Structure 1
């Protein structure tokens, strides 16, 4: 019963928090969740992520996440990632303020992390 309640809460958070975290109207909620969930995998382990904005990227099939790190040596710097998507919510590429993330890293994120309970729990919109 507790597991069902926890899953229900997670589902509600995934559906409602993009709207509460400053997402653009009409933004694809699933794509926004995928992009947000990639952020914790790309920052130092000891850092905590504070979302600043989640919105459309520069291209039609992209999402941009602006965030700030806390608990890290470079905390004051605003950071961002842009996730480009193919059909549906298929993540094709990620670019950060430091440059593009390698194709192999995106593949590993997509296939072994982004849809796991750990990624859902680490989603910065849920904090």
Structure 2
């Protein structure tokens, strides 16, 4: 009976490890959204990237830096749909959710542009 429990525990731990793994394409998509969350002229420095709190989500902790001002610690959580690995279905920051038209415009007119690629902060 005991070996069976150990096997079950090992299987559960293995599943938990898989669910917490980070998809590099999702992380890239989330990093590309970060500059849209800060004021114009602010610099974004990625501090940490990890699996988010929900399934198919990524959390990025970052610093917002502006000349003459203190560095502000921030975070963003990107949620991805089941349609494709990189279909952004939600974006929430420490200042609240990005929704409606803003999320639509971000997805359809910014994330896959050369401007987004140039503005993408490093992986940290």
TM-score (structure 2 length as normaliser):
0.76
Q: Which segments of 5 or more consecutive residues in structure 1 lack a partner in the other structure? A: 1-24
1:42 aligns with 2:37: yes
Q: Which segments of 5 or more consecutive residues in structure 2 lack a partner in the other structure? A: 1-19
Counting only pairs closer than 5 Å after superposition, residues 21-60 of structure 1 correspond to structure 2 as 26-60=21-55
Shift of 1:26: 3.4
**Distance in 2 (alpha carbons) for counterparts of 1:52 and 1:73:** 21
The runs of at least 4 consecutive aligned structure 1 residues that moved more than 4 Å come to none
RMSD, aligned CA: 1.9
2:99 maps to which residue?
A: 102
**Distance in 2 (alpha carbons) for counterparts of 1:35 and 1:69:** 15
Residue correspondences, number: 103
TM-score (structure 1 length as normaliser):
0.74
Shift of 1:45: 1.0
